[in-house]
Structure 1
Amino acid sequence: MTTTGLPSTKQNILQYLLKQDKSTAQQLANALNISPQATRRHLNELEAEGLIEYESIQSGMGRPQHLYQLSRRGRAQFPHSYGEFAVSFLDTLAETVGEEQVGKVLQKQWERKAAEYRDRVGKGSLQDRVAKLVQLRQQEGYMAELHQIAQQEDKQQFIIAEHNCAISEVAESYPSVCGHELEMFAAVLPDCTIKRTHWINNGEPRCGYLIQAKYSRSQESEARSQESGVRSQESEARSQEYDS
Protein backbone atom coordinates (compact mmCIF):
# COMPACT_ATOMS: atom_id res chain seq x y z
CA MET A 1 0.00 0.00 0.00
CA THR A 2 1.27 3.46 -0.90
CA THR A 3 -0.38 5.44 1.91
CA THR A 4 2.98 6.66 3.22
CA GLY A 5 2.56 8.75 6.37
CA LEU A 6 -0.95 7.56 7.18
CA PRO A 7 -1.35 6.20 10.73
CA SER A 8 -1.81 2.43 10.86
CA THR A 9 -5.44 2.75 12.00
CA LYS A 10 -6.30 4.77 8.92
CA GLN A 11 -4.50 2.25 6.76
CA ASN A 12 -6.53 -0.52 8.39
CA ILE A 13 -9.77 1.35 7.69
CA LEU A 14 -8.86 1.79 4.03
CA GLN A 15 -7.86 -1.86 3.71
CA TYR A 16 -11.10 -2.99 5.35
CA LEU A 17 -13.18 -0.84 2.99
CA LEU A 18 -11.23 -2.18 0.03
CA LYS A 19 -12.20 -5.74 0.99
CA GLN A 20 -15.75 -5.10 2.23
CA ASP A 21 -16.74 -2.37 -0.26
CA LYS A 22 -19.12 -0.58 2.14
CA SER A 23 -19.37 -0.38 5.91
CA THR A 24 -20.94 1.62 8.72
CA ALA A 25 -18.83 3.27 11.40
CA GLN A 26 -20.05 0.72 13.95
CA GLN A 27 -19.12 -2.22 11.70
CA LEU A 28 -15.66 -0.74 11.25
CA ALA A 29 -15.27 -0.21 14.99
CA ASN A 30 -16.25 -3.82 15.71
CA ALA A 31 -14.03 -5.27 12.98
CA LEU A 32 -10.94 -3.25 13.93
CA ASN A 33 -11.54 -3.36 17.69
CA ILE A 34 -11.46 0.41 18.20
CA SER A 35 -14.00 2.70 19.85
CA PRO A 36 -16.86 4.15 17.78
CA GLN A 37 -15.69 7.67 18.71
CA ALA A 38 -12.17 7.03 17.42
CA THR A 39 -13.57 5.37 14.30
CA ARG A 40 -15.73 8.38 13.46
CA ARG A 41 -12.80 10.73 14.02
CA HIS A 42 -10.65 8.74 11.60
CA LEU A 43 -13.51 8.56 9.09
CA ASN A 44 -13.98 12.34 9.23
CA GLU A 45 -10.27 12.86 8.61
CA LEU A 46 -10.19 10.36 5.71
CA GLU A 47 -13.24 12.03 4.18
CA ALA A 48 -11.57 15.45 4.47
CA GLU A 49 -8.54 13.99 2.67
CA GLY A 50 -10.80 12.79 -0.14
CA LEU A 51 -9.95 9.12 0.44
CA ILE A 52 -13.44 7.92 1.37
CA GLU A 53 -17.03 8.94 0.71
CA TYR A 54 -20.39 7.89 2.07
CA GLU A 55 -24.05 7.55 1.21
CA SER A 56 -26.86 8.02 3.71
CA ILE A 57 -29.32 5.14 4.10
CA GLN A 58 -32.60 5.68 5.93
CA SER A 59 -33.73 2.66 7.93
CA GLY A 60 -36.69 3.05 10.25
CA MET A 61 -37.56 6.23 12.12
CA GLY A 62 -34.09 7.04 13.43
CA ARG A 63 -31.24 9.00 11.94
CA PRO A 64 -29.96 7.81 8.55
CA GLN A 65 -26.91 5.56 8.57
CA HIS A 66 -23.75 6.46 6.72
CA LEU A 67 -22.31 3.72 4.53
CA TYR A 68 -18.64 4.46 3.91
CA GLN A 69 -16.66 3.34 0.88
CA LEU A 70 -13.37 4.16 -0.80
CA SER A 71 -13.35 7.08 -3.19
CA ARG A 72 -11.56 6.86 -6.50
CA ARG A 73 -8.63 8.64 -4.88
CA GLY A 74 -8.73 6.20 -1.98
CA ARG A 75 -8.48 3.20 -4.30
CA ALA A 76 -5.53 4.86 -6.00
CA GLN A 77 -3.63 4.62 -2.69
CA PHE A 78 -3.21 0.89 -3.24
CA PRO A 79 -0.52 -0.58 -5.50
CA HIS A 80 -1.36 -0.73 -9.20
CA SER A 81 0.54 -1.09 -12.44
CA TYR A 82 -1.50 1.10 -14.79
CA GLY A 83 1.54 3.14 -15.82
CA GLU A 84 3.67 0.07 -16.41
CA PHE A 85 0.91 -1.49 -18.51
CA ALA A 86 0.45 1.70 -20.56
CA VAL A 87 4.18 1.93 -21.33
CA SER A 88 4.33 -1.76 -22.24
CA PHE A 89 1.32 -1.35 -24.50
CA LEU A 90 2.85 1.65 -26.28
CA ASP A 91 6.15 -0.22 -26.69
CA THR A 92 4.31 -3.15 -28.26
CA LEU A 93 2.35 -0.78 -30.48
CA ALA A 94 5.58 0.90 -31.63
CA GLU A 95 7.09 -2.48 -32.50
CA THR A 96 3.96 -3.44 -34.42
CA VAL A 97 3.04 -0.31 -36.37
CA GLY A 98 6.06 1.98 -35.89
CA GLU A 99 6.80 5.01 -33.72
CA GLU A 100 5.23 7.43 -36.19
CA GLN A 101 1.86 5.73 -35.83
CA VAL A 102 2.22 5.73 -32.04
CA GLY A 103 2.78 9.48 -32.23
CA LYS A 104 -0.45 9.85 -34.20
CA VAL A 105 -2.32 7.76 -31.63
CA LEU A 106 -1.04 9.94 -28.77
CA GLN A 107 -1.93 13.09 -30.70
CA LYS A 108 -5.47 11.80 -31.24
CA GLN A 109 -5.80 10.92 -27.57
CA TRP A 110 -4.90 14.46 -26.48
CA GLU A 111 -7.28 15.94 -29.05
CA ARG A 112 -10.08 13.89 -27.51
CA LYS A 113 -9.00 14.97 -24.03
CA ALA A 114 -8.95 18.62 -25.09
CA ALA A 115 -12.50 18.31 -26.44
CA GLU A 116 -13.62 16.77 -23.14
CA TYR A 117 -11.94 19.56 -21.15
CA ARG A 118 -13.51 22.26 -23.35
CA ASP A 119 -16.99 20.85 -22.78
CA ARG A 120 -16.48 20.70 -19.02
CA VAL A 121 -14.71 24.06 -18.66
CA GLY A 122 -17.43 25.93 -20.55
CA LYS A 123 -17.46 29.56 -21.70
CA GLY A 124 -17.24 31.68 -18.54
CA SER A 125 -14.67 34.33 -17.67
CA LEU A 126 -11.01 33.45 -18.09
CA GLN A 127 -10.52 33.17 -14.33
CA ASP A 128 -13.50 30.80 -14.04
CA ARG A 129 -12.29 28.65 -16.92
CA VAL A 130 -8.76 28.38 -15.58
CA ALA A 131 -10.12 27.48 -12.13
CA LYS A 132 -12.30 24.74 -13.65
CA LEU A 133 -9.33 23.42 -15.62
CA VAL A 134 -7.30 23.20 -12.42
CA GLN A 135 -10.18 21.39 -10.72
CA LEU A 136 -10.26 18.82 -13.53
CA ARG A 137 -6.53 18.27 -13.20
CA GLN A 138 -6.91 17.82 -9.43
CA GLN A 139 -9.57 15.18 -9.98
CA GLU A 140 -7.17 13.31 -12.26
CA GLY A 141 -4.44 13.19 -9.61
CA TYR A 142 -2.09 15.98 -10.71
CA MET A 143 -2.19 17.84 -7.35
CA ALA A 144 -2.70 21.06 -9.29
CA GLU A 145 -2.67 24.53 -7.72
CA LEU A 146 -3.71 27.85 -9.24
CA HIS A 147 -1.87 31.11 -8.61
CA GLN A 148 -2.88 34.45 -10.12
CA ILE A 149 0.08 36.75 -10.68
CA ALA A 150 0.53 40.43 -11.51
CA GLN A 151 -1.19 41.61 -14.66
CA GLN A 152 0.64 43.12 -17.59
CA GLU A 153 -1.18 45.77 -19.62
CA ASP A 154 -4.49 44.73 -18.00
CA LYS A 155 -3.97 41.17 -19.23
CA GLN A 156 -4.55 38.41 -16.70
CA GLN A 157 -1.78 35.95 -15.88
CA PHE A 158 -1.93 32.67 -13.99
CA ILE A 159 0.46 29.96 -12.92
CA ILE A 160 -0.72 26.35 -12.77
CA ALA A 161 1.60 24.24 -10.61
CA GLU A 162 1.21 20.46 -10.76
CA HIS A 163 3.04 18.70 -7.94
CA ASN A 164 2.33 15.19 -9.20
CA CYS A 165 2.40 13.70 -12.69
CA ALA A 166 -0.47 11.24 -13.01
CA ILE A 167 1.14 9.76 -16.15
CA SER A 168 4.76 9.93 -15.02
CA GLU A 169 5.77 6.49 -16.32
CA VAL A 170 4.36 7.24 -19.77
CA ALA A 171 5.90 10.73 -19.77
CA GLU A 172 9.35 9.33 -18.95
CA SER A 173 9.24 6.84 -21.83
CA TYR A 174 7.29 9.04 -24.26
CA PRO A 175 8.07 12.68 -23.37
CA SER A 176 6.12 13.86 -26.42
CA VAL A 177 2.96 13.51 -24.31
CA CYS A 178 4.13 16.54 -22.33
CA GLY A 179 4.18 18.57 -25.54
CA HIS A 180 0.67 17.35 -26.28
CA GLU A 181 -0.39 18.62 -22.84
CA LEU A 182 0.71 22.12 -23.82
CA GLU A 183 -1.27 21.80 -27.05
CA MET A 184 -4.26 20.59 -25.05
CA PHE A 185 -4.16 23.56 -22.66
CA ALA A 186 -3.88 25.92 -25.64
CA ALA A 187 -6.91 24.28 -27.26
CA VAL A 188 -8.94 24.56 -24.05
CA LEU A 189 -7.90 28.22 -23.54
CA PRO A 190 -7.62 29.58 -27.11
CA ASP A 191 -7.58 33.17 -25.85
CA CYS A 192 -4.33 32.53 -23.93
CA THR A 193 -0.70 31.75 -24.57
CA ILE A 194 0.67 28.79 -22.62
CA LYS A 195 4.33 28.39 -21.63
CA ARG A 196 5.96 25.66 -19.57
CA THR A 197 7.96 27.07 -16.66
CA HIS A 198 8.90 23.85 -14.84
CA TRP A 199 9.07 20.20 -15.90
CA ILE A 200 9.27 17.13 -13.69
CA ASN A 201 11.03 15.27 -16.51
CA ASN A 202 13.92 17.74 -16.13
CA GLY A 203 14.30 16.78 -12.47
CA GLU A 204 12.30 19.74 -11.16
CA PRO A 205 9.87 19.19 -8.27
CA ARG A 206 6.78 20.15 -10.26
CA CYS A 207 5.38 20.93 -13.68
CA GLY A 208 4.50 24.60 -14.08
CA TYR A 209 2.56 26.45 -16.75
CA LEU A 210 2.33 30.20 -17.31
CA ILE A 211 -1.05 31.18 -18.73
CA GLN A 212 -1.24 34.67 -20.21
CA ALA A 213 -4.37 36.24 -21.64
CA LYS A 214 -4.00 37.42 -25.23
CA TYR A 215 -6.51 40.20 -24.64
CA SER A 216 -7.18 42.75 -21.90
CA ARG A 217 -10.15 42.40 -19.57
CA SER A 218 -12.12 44.98 -21.55
CA GLN A 219 -11.42 43.18 -24.82
CA GLU A 220 -12.40 39.85 -23.28
CA SER A 221 -15.67 41.34 -21.98
CA GLU A 222 -16.44 42.85 -25.38
CA ALA A 223 -15.74 39.53 -27.12
CA ARG A 224 -18.08 37.68 -24.74
CA SER A 225 -20.80 40.29 -25.35
CA GLN A 226 -20.44 39.89 -29.10
CA GLU A 227 -20.56 36.11 -28.80
CA SER A 228 -23.68 36.36 -26.64
CA GLY A 229 -25.29 38.65 -29.21
CA VAL A 230 -24.53 36.23 -32.01
CA ARG A 231 -26.05 33.36 -30.04
CA SER A 232 -29.19 35.43 -29.36
CA GLN A 233 -29.55 36.24 -33.06
CA GLU A 234 -29.13 32.58 -33.99
CA SER A 235 -31.72 31.56 -31.39
CA GLU A 236 -34.17 34.18 -32.66
CA ALA A 237 -33.64 33.07 -36.25
CA ARG A 238 -34.32 29.44 -35.32
CA SER A 239 -37.45 30.50 -33.44
CA GLN A 240 -38.78 32.45 -36.43
CA GLU A 241 -38.01 29.52 -38.72
CA TYR A 242 -39.93 27.21 -36.40
CA ASP A 243 -42.92 29.59 -36.21
CA SER A 244 -43.10 29.82 -39.99
Structure 2
Amino acid sequence: MNNTKDTILNQVLLLRKATITQLSEKLGISEISVRHHLIKLEAEGLVSVSEERHGVGRPRFVYCLTEKGFQIAPTNYFRLTDHALTTMKNFLGLEAFLELLKQFGRDLAEAYTSSISSENPEQILEEVTESLTRDGFVFSWTKSGESLVLTTHHCPVHHLGQKHPEVCTINHALLESLIQQPLKHDTCILHGDPGCTYTYEVLDGK
Protein backbone atom coordinates (compact mmCIF):
# COMPACT_ATOMS: atom_id res chain seq x y z
CA MET A 1 0.00 0.00 0.00
CA ASN A 2 1.44 3.40 -0.95
CA ASN A 3 2.01 6.32 1.40
CA THR A 4 -1.04 8.30 0.23
CA LYS A 5 -3.37 5.39 0.99
CA ASP A 6 -1.70 4.90 4.38
CA THR A 7 -2.18 8.59 5.14
CA ILE A 8 -5.84 8.51 4.10
CA LEU A 9 -6.50 5.47 6.30
CA ASN A 10 -4.80 7.20 9.21
CA GLN A 11 -6.84 10.38 8.74
CA VAL A 12 -10.12 8.45 8.50
CA LEU A 13 -9.13 6.65 11.71
CA LEU A 14 -8.44 9.95 13.49
CA LEU A 15 -11.59 11.68 12.21
CA ARG A 16 -13.82 8.58 12.63
CA LYS A 17 -16.06 9.95 9.84
CA ALA A 18 -14.31 11.86 7.06
CA THR A 19 -15.53 13.69 3.97
CA ILE A 20 -13.60 14.08 0.73
CA THR A 21 -13.23 17.81 1.42
CA GLN A 22 -11.79 17.19 4.89
CA LEU A 23 -9.28 14.66 3.55
CA SER A 24 -8.32 16.96 0.69
CA GLU A 25 -7.56 19.78 3.14
CA LYS A 26 -5.63 17.51 5.54
CA LEU A 27 -3.51 15.90 2.82
CA GLY A 28 -3.06 18.95 0.62
CA ILE A 29 -4.15 17.13 -2.53
CA SER A 30 -7.12 17.60 -4.86
CA GLU A 31 -10.56 16.21 -4.09
CA ILE A 32 -10.40 14.26 -7.36
CA SER A 33 -7.24 12.51 -6.17
CA VAL A 34 -8.79 11.77 -2.76
CA ARG A 35 -11.91 10.35 -4.40
CA HIS A 36 -9.74 8.15 -6.64
CA HIS A 37 -7.94 6.66 -3.62
CA LEU A 38 -11.17 6.21 -1.65
CA ILE A 39 -12.77 4.28 -4.51
CA LYS A 40 -9.82 1.87 -4.43
CA LEU A 41 -9.92 1.59 -0.64
CA GLU A 42 -13.65 0.87 -0.74
CA ALA A 43 -13.10 -1.81 -3.40
CA GLU A 44 -10.47 -3.39 -1.13
CA GLY A 45 -12.96 -3.42 1.75
CA LEU A 46 -10.94 -0.99 3.87
CA VAL A 47 -13.45 1.89 4.03
CA SER A 48 -17.22 2.17 3.79
CA VAL A 49 -19.26 5.14 2.60
CA SER A 50 -22.65 6.42 3.71
CA GLU A 51 -24.78 9.53 3.26
CA GLU A 52 -25.09 12.02 6.11
CA ARG A 53 -27.44 14.99 6.27
CA HIS A 54 -26.03 18.25 7.62
CA GLY A 55 -28.70 20.92 7.54
CA VAL A 56 -30.39 22.17 4.40
CA GLY A 57 -29.24 20.86 1.05
CA ARG A 58 -27.96 17.64 -0.38
CA PRO A 59 -26.54 15.02 1.99
CA ARG A 60 -22.78 14.56 1.99
CA PHE A 61 -20.82 11.33 1.69
CA VAL A 62 -18.78 10.30 4.74
CA TYR A 63 -16.16 7.57 4.90
CA CYS A 64 -15.40 5.27 7.85
CA LEU A 65 -12.92 2.48 8.37
CA THR A 66 -14.25 -1.05 8.09
CA GLU A 67 -13.09 -3.74 10.52
CA LYS A 68 -10.51 -4.79 7.93
CA GLY A 69 -9.38 -1.18 7.50
CA PHE A 70 -9.12 -0.68 11.25
CA GLN A 71 -6.70 -3.58 11.55
CA ILE A 72 -4.60 -2.44 8.59
CA ALA A 73 -4.46 1.24 9.59
CA PRO A 74 -1.14 2.27 11.17
CA THR A 75 -2.00 1.70 14.84
CA ASN A 76 -1.15 -0.74 17.62
CA TYR A 77 -4.48 -0.25 19.40
CA PHE A 78 -5.83 -3.66 18.44
CA ARG A 79 -2.77 -5.62 19.55
CA LEU A 80 -2.51 -3.70 22.82
CA THR A 81 -6.21 -4.17 23.63
CA ASP A 82 -6.06 -7.84 22.68
CA HIS A 83 -3.10 -8.34 25.01
CA ALA A 84 -4.81 -6.42 27.84
CA LEU A 85 -8.00 -8.49 27.57
CA THR A 86 -6.05 -11.76 27.50
CA THR A 87 -4.08 -10.73 30.58
CA MET A 88 -7.19 -9.68 32.52
CA LYS A 89 -9.05 -12.87 31.62
CA ASN A 90 -6.15 -15.06 32.73
CA PHE A 91 -5.55 -13.07 35.91
CA LEU A 92 -9.17 -12.64 37.05
CA GLY A 93 -10.77 -15.84 35.80
CA LEU A 94 -13.79 -15.93 33.50
CA GLU A 95 -16.50 -15.07 36.06
CA ALA A 96 -14.74 -11.99 37.43
CA PHE A 97 -13.69 -10.97 33.90
CA LEU A 98 -17.33 -11.01 32.74
CA GLU A 99 -18.40 -8.97 35.76
CA LEU A 100 -15.70 -6.42 34.98
CA LEU A 101 -16.97 -6.09 31.40
CA LYS A 102 -20.55 -5.66 32.67
CA GLN A 103 -19.43 -2.88 34.99
CA PHE A 104 -17.59 -1.25 32.11
CA GLY A 105 -20.84 -1.25 30.11
CA ARG A 106 -22.75 0.25 33.05
CA ASP A 107 -20.12 2.96 33.43
CA LEU A 108 -20.38 3.81 29.73
CA ALA A 109 -24.14 4.18 30.10
CA GLU A 110 -23.73 6.99 32.63
CA ALA A 111 -22.56 9.32 29.86
CA TYR A 112 -25.95 8.96 28.13
CA THR A 113 -28.45 8.86 30.98
CA SER A 114 -28.95 12.64 31.00
CA SER A 115 -30.26 12.51 27.41
CA ILE A 116 -33.01 10.00 28.30
CA SER A 117 -35.99 11.71 29.90
CA SER A 118 -39.05 9.75 28.75
CA GLU A 119 -40.84 6.97 30.63
CA ASN A 120 -42.55 5.63 27.51
CA PRO A 121 -40.75 2.44 26.32
CA GLU A 122 -40.85 3.37 22.64
CA GLN A 123 -39.69 6.92 23.28
CA ILE A 124 -36.88 5.61 25.49
CA LEU A 125 -35.63 3.46 22.60
CA GLU A 126 -35.87 6.46 20.28
CA GLU A 127 -33.75 8.55 22.65
CA VAL A 128 -31.25 5.72 23.20
CA THR A 129 -30.74 5.07 19.49
CA GLU A 130 -30.46 8.79 18.76
CA SER A 131 -27.83 9.32 21.48
CA LEU A 132 -25.75 6.29 20.51
CA THR A 133 -25.95 7.07 16.78
CA ARG A 134 -24.49 10.53 17.41
CA ASP A 135 -21.39 8.81 18.82
CA GLY A 136 -20.86 6.55 15.83
CA PHE A 137 -22.93 3.52 16.79
CA VAL A 138 -25.44 2.31 14.19
CA PHE A 139 -28.68 1.43 16.01
CA SER A 140 -32.33 1.13 15.08
CA TRP A 141 -35.41 -0.27 16.78
CA THR A 142 -38.69 -1.87 15.74
CA LYS A 143 -41.83 -3.17 17.40
CA SER A 144 -42.77 -6.83 17.00
CA GLY A 145 -46.08 -7.68 18.67
CA GLU A 146 -45.66 -6.88 22.36
CA SER A 147 -41.87 -6.83 22.06
CA LEU A 148 -39.47 -4.02 21.26
CA VAL A 149 -36.38 -5.01 19.30
CA LEU A 150 -33.18 -2.98 19.35
CA THR A 151 -30.66 -3.72 16.59
CA THR A 152 -27.07 -2.66 16.13
CA HIS A 153 -25.96 -2.90 12.51
CA HIS A 154 -22.27 -2.37 13.18
CA CYS A 155 -20.38 -3.93 16.06
CA PRO A 156 -17.79 -1.51 17.50
CA VAL A 157 -15.89 -4.42 19.11
CA HIS A 158 -16.21 -6.94 16.27
CA HIS A 159 -12.47 -7.16 15.65
CA LEU A 160 -11.86 -7.93 19.34
CA GLY A 161 -14.93 -10.13 19.71
CA GLN A 162 -13.59 -12.64 17.20
CA LYS A 163 -10.94 -13.59 19.77
CA HIS A 164 -12.72 -12.40 22.92
CA PRO A 165 -16.49 -13.02 22.47
CA GLU A 166 -17.00 -11.98 26.09
CA VAL A 167 -16.78 -8.31 25.01
CA CYS A 168 -20.40 -8.59 23.81
CA THR A 169 -21.19 -8.30 27.52
CA ILE A 170 -20.23 -4.61 27.35
CA ASN A 171 -22.93 -3.71 24.81
CA HIS A 172 -25.51 -5.84 26.61
CA ALA A 173 -24.84 -4.15 29.96
CA LEU A 174 -24.72 -0.70 28.34
CA LEU A 175 -28.16 -1.14 26.74
CA GLU A 176 -29.77 -2.71 29.81
CA SER A 177 -28.52 0.19 31.94
CA LEU A 178 -29.92 2.77 29.52
CA ILE A 179 -33.29 1.09 29.02
CA GLN A 180 -33.60 -0.12 32.62
CA GLN A 181 -35.05 -3.41 31.42
CA PRO A 182 -33.62 -6.94 31.07
CA LEU A 183 -32.79 -7.65 27.43
CA LYS A 184 -32.60 -10.93 25.54
CA HIS A 185 -29.63 -11.08 23.15
CA ASP A 186 -31.20 -12.88 20.17
CA THR A 187 -28.73 -12.56 17.29
CA CYS A 188 -25.06 -11.60 17.06
CA ILE A 189 -22.81 -10.35 14.28
CA LEU A 190 -20.05 -12.58 15.65
CA HIS A 191 -22.24 -15.59 14.83
CA GLY A 192 -22.69 -14.47 11.23
CA ASP A 193 -26.00 -12.65 11.74
CA PRO A 194 -26.53 -9.35 9.87
CA GLY A 195 -26.92 -7.50 13.17
CA CYS A 196 -27.01 -7.87 16.94
CA THR A 197 -30.59 -7.78 18.22
CA TYR A 198 -31.83 -7.26 21.77
CA THR A 199 -35.47 -7.81 22.72
CA TYR A 200 -37.64 -7.04 25.71
CA GLU A 201 -41.32 -7.59 26.37
CA VAL A 202 -43.47 -4.55 27.06
CA LEU A 203 -45.79 -5.28 29.99
CA ASP A 204 -48.52 -2.78 30.86
CA GLY A 205 -46.70 -0.06 28.96
CA LYS A 206 -43.50 -0.48 31.00
- Could you tell me the TM-score, scaled by structure 2's length? 0.60
- Could you say which structure has the greater relative contact order, defined with CA pairs below 8 angstroms and 6 or more residues apart? 2
Shift of 1:131: 0.8
Q: Does 1:110 align with 2:114?
A: no
Q: State the superposition RMSD in angstroms.
A: 3.8
Q: Which residue, 84, 91, 99 being the options, matches 1:89?
A: 84
- Could you tell me the TM-score, scaled by structure 1's length? 0.52
Change in Cα spacing, 1:93 to 1:126, as seen in structure 2 (3 Å) is same
Which residue in 1 is equivalent to 2:203?
214
Aligned residues: 164
Which residue in 2 is equivalent to 1:49?
51
Gaps of 5+ in 1: 4-9, 21-30, 35-47, 55-72, 221-244
Shift of 1:104: 4.4
Change in Cα spacing, 1:120 to 1:172, as seen in structure 2 (3 Å) is farther
Larger Rg: 1
Q: Does 1:138 align with 2:133?
A: yes
Shift of 1:126: 1.9
Shift of 1:12: 5.5
Change in Cα spacing, 1:186 to 1:98, as seen in structure 2 (3 Å) is closer
Which residue in 1 is equivalent to 2:144?
149
**1:1-244 matched pairs, under 5 angstroms:** 13-19=21-27, 32=30, 49-50=51-52, 74=63, 79=70, 80=73, 81=75, 82-94=77-89, 97-100=91-94, 102-150=97-145, 152=146, 157-190=147-180, 192-216=181-205, 220=206
Which residue in 1 is equivalent to 2:46?
none
**SS in structure 1 of the partner of residue 156 of structure 2:** coil
**SS in structure 1 of the partner of residue 148 of structure 2:** strand
Q: Return the alpha-carbon distance in structure 1 between the equivalents of residues 182 and 116 of structure 2.
A: 17
Shift of 1:94: 4.2
Which residue in 1 is equivalent to 2:37?
none
Residues 122-170 of structure 1, C-alpha deviations (whole Å, 9 max, x = no match): 34422221011112332343322222233x3xxxx32222221011122
